[in-house]
Amino acid sequence: MHEIFRSLPWPFENAEFPPNLGAVVQWTVANGDFPALFVGHTEENSWLVGDGVNDPNLTGACAAMCIWAAIEHNSSVRELPDLPLGWAAERDTPGASWRRAPFQLLD
Instruction: Please report whether residue 105 resides in a domain.
Output: no
Q: What are phi and psi of 101, to 5 degrees?
A: -160, 155
DSSP E strands in the chain: the ranges are 22-26, 38-41, 47-50, 62-66, 87-90, 99-102
Decide if 55 is inside a domain: yes
Total count of domains within the chain: 1
Domain that residue 5 falls in: 1-80
pTM assigned to the model = 0.93
pLDDT attached to residue 96: 96
DSSP for residue 59: T
How many other CB atoms are there within 10 angstroms of residue 66's CB atom?
A: 22
Digits of tens for pLDDT over the chain (107 positions)? 578 998 899 999 999 999 999 999 999 999 999 999 999 999 999 999 999 999 999 999 999 999 999 999 999 999 999 999 999 999 999 999 999 999 876 65
Task: Please indicate, yes or no, if residue 16 is contained in any of the structural domains.
Answer: yes
Coil/strand/helix, residue 25: strand
- 94 within some domain: no
